[in-house]
């Protein structure tokens, strides 16, 4: 298991854990919690691969589904724990960064145009959370606060820019990921968000 694969497994687990927690807080049954956790964690990567004409990773990689199952078991075992909010936020932010860079790098390695690589990176990062919120009937975080989409967009753009400047791939990934994390935490800390449309 290489480093990128390992990080993908961890990000899948983090997205699944957050999805399971949201579903549990909405009072869904065990099946619903497992379903939401699965959708939240694999939807982005699946959609990316479909666009790229590739087989979704989870079909051939049992570690992906194992990480989802682990997240569901942990959620069901811990029941409601009110003081883990910051931990879940940190995990979700880390997963957002990994998913953004994983999606962008894959597209970039396949020699997809730079602008499409950025879009695919954002899609990889935000699709699962968007579907999670819609299915749980809560206002999607992506569409109204925390600049999740902006953080992913900035991280993917920095990665592409550094690659175009011939920076080492590891440096591009590290800097791009840090940009995602910093953008999200700064936006939360200072309550920053994109302007809203006013009627």
Q: Considering the domain boundaries, does residue 141 fall inside one?
A: yes
H-state helical runs in the chain: 3-25, 30-52, 57-60, 62-78, 85-109, 114-135, 141-144, 148-164, 169-189
Q: Is residue 199 in some structural domain?
A: no
pLDDT of residue 13: 95
Answer yes or no: is 120 within a domain.
yes
Note the pLDDT of residue 145.
60
Q: Is residue 45 part of a domain?
A: yes
Give the CA radius of gyration of the chain: 16
Domain that holds residue 118: 3-189
What is the reported pLDDT for 192? Answer: 78
**Mean pLDDT split into 10-residue runs, the chain, 199 residues:** 74 93 92 97 95 93 94 87 69 92 92 95 95 90 74 96 92 95 89 75
pTM: 0.90
CB 175 within 8 Å of CB 165: no
Q: Is residue 126 part of a domain?
A: yes
Number of domains in the chain: 1
């Amino acid at each position: 298991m290489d480093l990128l694969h390992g990080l993908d497994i961890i990000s899948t687990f983090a997205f699944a854990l957050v999805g399971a927690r949201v579903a549990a807080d909405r009072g869904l049954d065990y099946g619903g919690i497992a379903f939401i956790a699965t959708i939240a964690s694999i939807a982005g990567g699946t959609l990316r691969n479909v666009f790229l004409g590739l087989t979704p990773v989870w079909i051939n990689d049992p570690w992906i589904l194992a990480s989802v199952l682990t997240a569901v078991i942990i959620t069901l075992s811990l029941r409601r724990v009110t003081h883990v909010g910051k931990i879940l936020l940190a995990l979700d932010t880390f997963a957002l960064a990994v998913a953004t860079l994983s999606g962008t790098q894959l597209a970039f390695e396949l020699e997809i145009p730079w602008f499409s690589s950025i879009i695919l990176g954002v899609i990889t990062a935000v699709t699962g959370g968007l579907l999670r919120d819609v299915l749980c009937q809560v206002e999607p975080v992506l569409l109204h606060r925390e600049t999740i989409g902006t953080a992913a967009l900035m991280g993917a753009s920095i990665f592409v820019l550094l690659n175009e400047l011939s920076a080492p791939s590891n440096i591009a990934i590290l800097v791009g990921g840090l940009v995602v994390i910093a953008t999200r935490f700064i936006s939360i800390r200072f309550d920053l968000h994109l302007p809203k449309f006013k009627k």
